[in-house]
Amino acid sequence: MNVNTELFGAFAFHAGLMAVNTLTKSFLTARQRFRKGNFISREDGAHKPSLKIGVGIDDDVERVRRAHQNDIENIFPFLTLGLLYLFTNPEVSCAQLCFRIFSGARLLHSFVYLWEIPQPSRALAFFAGIGVNFYMGYKVLCHFAGSI
């Protein structure tokens, strides 16, 4: 099986962009934890007894943590499905559109989640990204159904 080099390049760019987006949330969560004095484990706050320990204690920390969790739940399937989708020999323009919609939707989702922009903005961004994942999953399953 051969994969179009231009198509692989487009996927690699968007996969890298989404990985960096997810990694960034780790630092944003840590920043909020230090700013709010809220840590997840007792040993993290052992040096300062006034720190709050546990999940769900601070809304600002939890918002970033939930955005990070949402990225993990959606971007990792994209990485898998997008790579498999490359082997279905899709039209370059269609695949690029899928990758662009997904990346744009996930970046928009992060923005509206972290800046607390009212619904339905976050839901629309979520469903745009999940729609792309389901589309690529459908194409992969249909393409490889005869291989089982």
Q: What is the pLDDT of residue 58?
A: 81
Q: What is the CATH number assigned to the segment(s) 12-21+59-142?
A: 1.20.120.550
Q: What DSSP character marks residue 55?
A: T
- Cα-Cα-Cα-Cα dihedral sign, residues 97, 100, 102, 105: negative
- 3-state class (DSSP) for residue 50: coil
How many Å apart are CA 146 and CA 112, to the nearest integer? 41
Distances (CA, A) of 105 to 6, 25, 56, 70: 22, 16, 27, 13
**Residue count of the chain:** 148
Considering only CA atoms, which of 98, 81, 93, 100 is closest in space to residue 143? 81
Spans of all domains in the chain? 12-21+59-142
pLDDT digits over 4-18, tens only? 999 999 999 999 999
Q: What is the mean pLDDT of the chain?
A: 91
With a cut of 90, say whether residue 2 has pLDDT above it: no
Please indicate whether residue 121 or residue 45 has the higher confidence score (pLDDT).
121
